[in-house]
Amino acid sequence: MTGEAEAVGPPAAEYDEYGFVVPAGALGREIVRYKQQFQPKAERRVTRWERFRRADPSLSNRRRLKRLVRKGIPDSFRKEIWAHCLGSQRLRDANPNKFESLLREPLSDETLSQIELDLTRTFPNNKLYKYEDGVAKLRRVLRAFAVHNVRVNYCQSLNFIAAVLLLFMDEELAFWTLAQVVSSEEGAKGLHIDGYYVEGMDQLRADLRALERIVQRKFPNAYASLRREGVELEWVCQEWFHTLFSTVLPIQTTLRVWDCLFLEGHKILFRVALAIFKENELRISKFQSLEEVMVSMREISSHQVDHNSLLKAAFKGIGRLKRAQIRREQAYGERMVAEENAAAQARRERHNQAHPPPPAKPQLPALDNPGHGEAGGSGEESPVGAAVREAARRLESVIDSCYDSILGDGDDDVDVSPVDGEPPAARLPGSIPALSPDSVFSYLGVSVSSMLQPSNSSDATRSSVNVHRGDNALATSPAK
């Protein structure tokens, strides 16, 4: 019986060398086939890297390093080369106890809860993050980063970047590498993209505007196809840049992109995005509907299995793309984002003017033990003081009821029809005056003296107050 159950049950998951489940179907077969096809090249590259490391232990020959990095860093060298390119190893050496001390610092409940929520969403198809040990490592890296980078704190997408780093690095080095990826603290190294992960994401939005201009110029047919279907380029490409392609490309391709990204800087994001359009320009140009665009663009990125062809397109197929050109387009994007932000602020101000918040209820001043003797004196509260305190308590309750009746729950129309003897201005939510104790007593028609009159029986009525709003009346119950 057990044998039959095993025979008809689903096959056991197959994992790649990085711990990810190999996709089922045609995509999985394509990944396996390409890996086998690429294996001879991969072995030759390992030999070249070993020879280079023996000849240049300090990695001082940047020209040679760049040429090798563009061909791909072997897995056995990635930890060392990434840390060198980003400067994270030097930061770790200069701050030997920093990581552990950051973990002892408090974080807000909001940040902690967001990190915990994202932990369960981070690469559930990777076996490292199926178990608590891997999740705990990722948690510590994200918490330390949130304390360390005050400007960013924590933002979704950082969990995916940190999770990929942990496939090659221990927690402490992964933390320093993440810090360098986002906001460089080591010389000219790092990506300097902290503006991707702060409120408003202005830097990310500006870069996407810049990318849109370059795509429109280099691939006009593909761009026209997207616009014809009403698709903004940022809908497609925001995740590409925000996660550094880690959630959209196959892991083998992501790693090849990161090899170049960590050495050459974030211009590589533009080159790789343009290479995807270059490799798929004809297909993109034939899109016929919004649904086809959104589904197909996701499929296109997930099927970029041939990382060698993609990187060749990034460096040769897209034509010239100088840093100065990218910077000019980024400056344009920054102006566009500034204009969008100014327009949004103006809309908020107009909305606030048209829908002002309801006024706060007036607060009666605290009565500091009225009826006592001089300051610092002691003794029992006088009858006058006790009566004033009781009057203030009851009046405060009446005022609450009055405001509730006037303002309702914030949605009811306010009845502003005149009532005999009632000051209209006092009933309008937009013009309710500040109330002093004297004006409160005067407005409600209550005299302190009437509050002080002793009752002749236990059921005597001490006061009765009616506050009108239109035809409705609120009356305090007689004090018994």
pLDDT in tens, 385-394: 666 677 767 7
Q: State whether the Cα torsion 214-218-221-222 is positive or negative.
A: negative
pLDDT at 12: 56
Residue 16, CB-side half-sphere exposure with 13 Å CA sphere: 20
The amino acid present at 261, given as its one-letter code, is L
Cα(314)–Cα(326) distance, integer angstroms: 14
pLDDT of res. 426:
40
- Smallest Cα–Cα separation from 256: which of 195, 315, 300, 182? 315
Per-residue confidence (pLDDT) for residue 357, from 0 to 100: 83
Instruction: State the CATH architecture for 202-344.
Output: Orthogonal Bundle (1.10)
Distances (CA, A) of 446 to 50, 313, 405, 420, 452: 95, 86, 19, 17, 11
Q: Give the largest Cα separation in the chain, rounded.
A: 109
Question: Token digits for 78?
Answer: 């990635």
Question: Where are the domains positioned within the chain?
Answer: 25-196, 202-344, 383-451+464-475
Q: Which residues pair with 474 in a beta bridge?
A: 467
Please report, as a single letter, which amino acid is at residue 73.
I
HSE value, Cβ hemisphere, 13 Å, CA-based, for 409: 1
Under a CB-based contact definition with an 8 Å cutoff, are residues 88 and 173 in contact? Answer: yes
Residue 18 token pair: 């990085």
Supply the pLDDT for residue 359. 77
Neighbouring CB atoms inside 10 A of 331's CB total 12
pLDDT of residue 384: 62
If one counts every other C-beta atom within 10 angstroms of the C-beta of residue 452, the result is: 15
276: closest CA among 247, 253, 251, 242? 253
CA distance 86 to 181: 7
Cβ within 8 Å of residue 14, ≥6 positions away: 21, 22, 28
Please state, in angstroms and rounded to a whole number, the distance separating the CA atoms of residues 282 and 306: 18
Check residue 83 and give its pLDDT.
Answer: 97
The CA distance from 341 to 333, in Å, is 12
The dihedrals phi and psi of 473, each to the nearest 5 degrees, come to -135, 135
Token pair for 355: 């829908």
- Segments of the chain with pLDDT less than 70: 1-13, 361-388, 392, 396, 398-480
CATH number 1.10.8.270 given to 25-196 = yes
- What's the sign of the alpha-carbon dihedral 403, 408, 412, 415? negative
- End-to-end CA separation in angstroms for the chain: 83
pLDDT at 470 (0 to 100): 37
Q: Are 429 and 404 in contact (CB under 8 A)?
A: no
What is the model's pLDDT at position 437? 47
Task: Give the global pTM.
Answer: 0.73
List, as own/partner pairs, every contact residues 148-152 make where C-beta atoms lie below 8 angstroms and the sequence separation is at least 24, other chains included.
Answer: 148/98, 148/102, 148/175, 148/179, 149/179, 149/182, 149/183, 149/194, 151/183, 151/194, 151/198, 152/182, 152/183, 152/194, 152/197, 152/198
CA 169 to the chain's CA centroid = 25
